[in-house]
Amino acid sequence: MAWLVLFFLLPLLFVGVASFMTRGAGGQPIQPWTLDHYQRTFDVFGPVIWRTLGFAALTTALCLMVGYPTAMYIASRQRPAVRLVLLFLVLLPFWTNFLVRTYALITIVQREGLLNEWLVRLGLVQDPVQMLFTPTAVVLGLVYGYLPFMVLPIYAAVERLDRRYVEAANDLGANDWRAFWRVIWPLTLPGVVAGSMLVFIPAIGAFVTPDLMGGTGGLMIGNLVQSQFRGRGNVPLGSAISMVLLVIVFVGVLVYARWGERGDP
Amino acid sequence: MSPRALLNAAVAAALALGAAAHAESEWTCPSGFAGQTLSVYNWTTYIADDTVTNFEAACGVRVIYDTYPGEDDMLARMRQGNPGYDIAVPSDRVVAIMIEEGLLVPVDLDLIPNWGNLDPTFLDLDFDPGNRYSVPYQWGTLGIGYHVGRVGFEVTSWMDMFTYDGPVSWIEDIRAMMGSAAVAMGIDPNTGDPEEIDAIQRFMIDHGSNVVYINQDDGQELLLRGEVDIVVEYSGDIFQIMDECECDDFAFVIPAEGANFWVDNLVIPVGASNVPLAHVFLDYLLDPVVAADIANYTAYGSPNQAAVDAGLIDEELLTNPGIYPDAETEERLFRVLQDSTLEQRYNDAWDELKIFVGR
């Protein structure tokens, strides 16, 4: 508890207080109190907030589209050893530093990278396509980075699923499609919500991926926070943006608490 | 031949061999520093690759060498409290800020015998009268680097870049970058007029649709990788890749409208853990051979007159107008003048325009 106060609540309090103060010499917060930084956050950086939410939502959706079938596939393997190996493969990228993986992805999508080389060689495009430093690159990087966080909770939910429910549904005349939507999907929903939150929340605060892969079109709210603290040293504005980010994340956590845990079989 | 004569001959032969291979520094380390540690905080790619190791060998000390992508990062860290760096390398504008905010330790020129090697042109400048806090290190310009083949024409002006149809990268050096746009518009690059700053901001948004990335002093890498065709970078960084690739693919130009000219300076930040050794290091860097090695490696201008006079700096660098501009070009160069009331206004304008540039 003391640990939580010291390393979480106290810094949070500093950030919260600083966000209502005026920017002084060297960017340090000074009196008097002001709401200017919040006004600026919404008026000027509003487009970036919306863009960030869009990126995070798209990342979550894509992770779900790829992650759910993957988890289903792994869970439905008969032999435990095979399941274990497949799960291990999902986790394997974590053994490599995130920066290294991002740079590896950059070498693939850059203008003179592998992907463009193949596209040109296969005659699909005339000139290399600009892929790096686009919003697409950011979402690709985020999906790549956070996909395991989606697969694992869904896998846990699918594995806990009692097969006999599905058999019972089939016996009662439900086709596979109907059995999925009426039985499997509702029973695995907590895993879906948990996985979605585990992707959505860190994706909102991401700054390494947009920094390296986003360029001007992929600027996210995390980059704004970082540049205020690092380069500019504008502590109050950085704090205000952080607080807004925090509230957005908090709403996400509430959603998780409300729907994520409920309905566990 | 007596043993002593034999020894002398051997030493002479060894010296001759050494001189033939490479001009050796005659700098000797003052005694009493062995075993100590020095922390240096410098820009990336801004020192010769053996400068630090040679210093460690000469003095028997250990050097912790860290780099920063932009001096705003360095400044932000120093403002929060120097974590123990003994040497930093701010530009003229940031030296003025650091003096104003009391972040620098005075430099004792008596401890720097090599001081006399410096070209007086670079001494006693407005940002630090009497050089009480700073020692000039190198100087250069912020101009345009580009890929000759991809661009397909000779870039000569900022407008060539602002209107270019293809990927471009600006640099995260707020005042110099906005100052460059200002000279392209015919506005004073040090303007404090809010309307003019707004106009610069609008101009950059209007001409920023080709900007794919705002680089952190790594623009030369983007150019080398083919990610962008045109990049705003510091002169030496482009000359470094031109030298490395041994090809004619790249070019650097000081644009016709004018360009930012800066002097980077060695300083000792408040909170330095070894101020005496920092002075020894400053003296070492001002040695003509050491300074020439750094200038030859980084391809920036050297204020070390002794190194130039002794012919230690590569001829091709000295005759390169992109590094040592002719008098006519010099007329068009501008310095960014520090004004703490303007810093926040420029920062705000930059943060806003960054959102709207790009596709």
pLDDT in tens, A161-172: 888 998 999 999
Do B140-261+329-353 and B3-139+262-318 fall under one CATH topology?
A: yes
β-pairing verdict for B259-269 and B104-105: antiparallel
ipTM for this prediction: 0.85
What tokens appear for A46 in the block? 């509003």
Mutate which: A36, A216, A234, A237, vs B, most B CBs within 10 A: A216
Place of tokens 């010099």: B330
Encode pLDDT of B104-146 as tens digits: 999 999 999 999 999 999 999 999 999 999 999 999 999 999 9
CATH superfamily placement of domain B3-139+262-318 = Periplasmic binding protein-like II (3.40.190.10)
Place of tokens 């020692």: B135
Question: Are the Cβ atoms of B79 and A231 closer than 8 angstroms?
Answer: no
Confidence of residue A231 (pLDDT cuts 50, 70, 90): low
Q: What is the average pLDDT across B196-205?
A: 97
Q: What is the average pLDDT across B173-181?
A: 96
Q: What is the average pLDDT across A6-31?
A: 88
Say whether pLDDT at B22 is over 70: no
Of B73, B344, B347, the CB nearest to A230: B73
Domain boundaries, chain B: 3-139+262-318, 140-261+329-353
Which chain B residue shows the shortest CA-CA distance from A23? B344
All residues of chain B having their beta carbon less than 8 Å from the beta carbon of residue A26 are 79, 101
Say whether pLDDT at A43 is over 70: yes
Confidence of residue A260 (pLDDT cuts 50, 70, 90): low
pLDDT value of position B20 = 37
pLDDT value of position B21 = 39
Note whether B233 and B250 are within 8 A (CB). no
Encode pLDDT of A112-171 as tens digits: 899 999 999 998 888 888 899 999 999 999 999 999 999 999 999 999 888 899 899 999
Cβ atoms < 10 Å from Cβ of A29: 21
Domain spanning B140-261+329-353: CATH 3.20.20.70:
no
Peptide bond into A32 cis (omega under 30): yes
Euclidean distance between CA atoms A184 and B352, whole angstroms: 48
Q: How far is A180 from chain B (nearest CA, A)?
A: 42
What is the average pLDDT score of chain A?
90
Say whether pLDDT at A99 is over 70: yes
User: Helix, strand or coil for residue B225?
Assistant: coil
Domain spanning A41-259: CATH 3.40.50.150:
no
Say whether pLDDT at B7 is over 60: no
Question: Are the Cβ atoms of A133 and B227 closer than 8 angstroms?
Answer: yes
Q: Which of A155, A150, A181, A187 is nearest to A60 (CA)?
A: A150
Mutate which: B68, B71, B75, B227, vs A, most A CBs within 10 A: B227
B347 reaches A (C-beta below 8 A):
yes
Confidence of residue A234 (pLDDT cuts 50, 70, 90): confident
Confidence of residue B14 (pLDDT cuts 50, 70, 90): very low
Encode pLDDT of B281-321 as tens digits: 999 999 999 999 999 999 999 999 999 999 999 999 999 99
- The residues pairing with B38 across neighbouring beta strands, listed in sequence order, are B63
Note whether B143 and B253 are within 8 A (CB). yes
Q: Which of B353, B154, B173, B174 is nearest to B255 (CA)?
A: B154
Encode pLDDT of B40-83 as tens digits: 999 999 999 999 999 999 999 999 999 998 898 899 889 888 99
| Nearest-10 Cα torsion for A6, A9, A12, A14 | -60
Rounded to the nearest angstrom, the gap between the alpha carbon of residue A3 and the centroid of all alpha carbons in its chain is 27
Mutate which: A22, A228, A232, vs B, most B CBs within 10 A: A232
Say whether pLDDT at B358 is over 90: no
Q: What is the average pLDDT across B267-285?
A: 97
Q: What is the average pLDDT across B246-261?
A: 94
The whole-model pTM stands at: 0.87
